[in-house]
């Protein structure tokens, strides 16, 4: 498979792992990872999938996640059901990252793309990490798919860039 583009169907067989938010932001409280069938879930929702090189990394933590937290209501007003952040980190690190950012519900999920399995299928990796990209999936159809190739840039994948395309 090659890079996704607007008009493509979201591929079948895409899964991630995550720990469902419990409402508790205590970083020492850990749940167990479960599988998330993205292909099935994305078929019935409007979702913004955001890939980042790593949880807690400077650009991701200082710019990327805060941009989505600040604009969450705008996404909801444009019909977005869910925002999903993925990285190559394991599900426990991703869950801790969500908690560290005060996320208590499923409006924004933090998931593991273990070994960059999905990102590799679309060719959007850099070494053993995902590239920085955003894909909007509207009931199984890709309506937006862009990378940020410039280091530290979130022009195409940050909340403002994605909102401008909805």
Residues serving a catalytic function are: 60
Q: Give the separation between CA 60 and CA 134, rounded to whole angstroms.
A: 13
* Residue in the structure block whose two tokens are 């980190």: 89
Q: How far is CA 155 from CA 51, 119, 152, in A?
A: 14, 20, 9
Q: Strand pairing partners for 44?
A: none
Return the structure tokens found at 102: 């005060």
């Amino acid at each position: 498979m090659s890079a996704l583009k607007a008009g493509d169907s979201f591929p079948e067989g895409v899964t991630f792992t995550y720990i469902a938010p419990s409402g508790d932001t205590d970083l020492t409280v850990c749940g167990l990872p479960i599988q998330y069938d993205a292909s099935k879930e994305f078929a019935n929702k409007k979702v913004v999938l955001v890939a980042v090189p790593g949880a807690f990394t400077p650009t991701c933590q200082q710019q990327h996640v805060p941009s989505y937290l600040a604009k969450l209501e705008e996404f909801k007003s444009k019909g977005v059901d869910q925002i999903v952040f993925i990285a190559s980190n394991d599900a426990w690190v991703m869950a801790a990252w969500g908690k560290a950012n005060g996320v208590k519900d499923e409006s924004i999920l933090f998931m593991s793309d273990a070994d960059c399995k999905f990102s590799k299928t679309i060719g959007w990796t850099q070494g053993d990490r995902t590239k920085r990209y955003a894909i909007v999936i509207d009931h199984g159809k890709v309506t937006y798919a862009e990378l940020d190739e410039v280091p530290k840039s979130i022009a195409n994948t940050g909340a403002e860039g994605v909102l401008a395309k909805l």
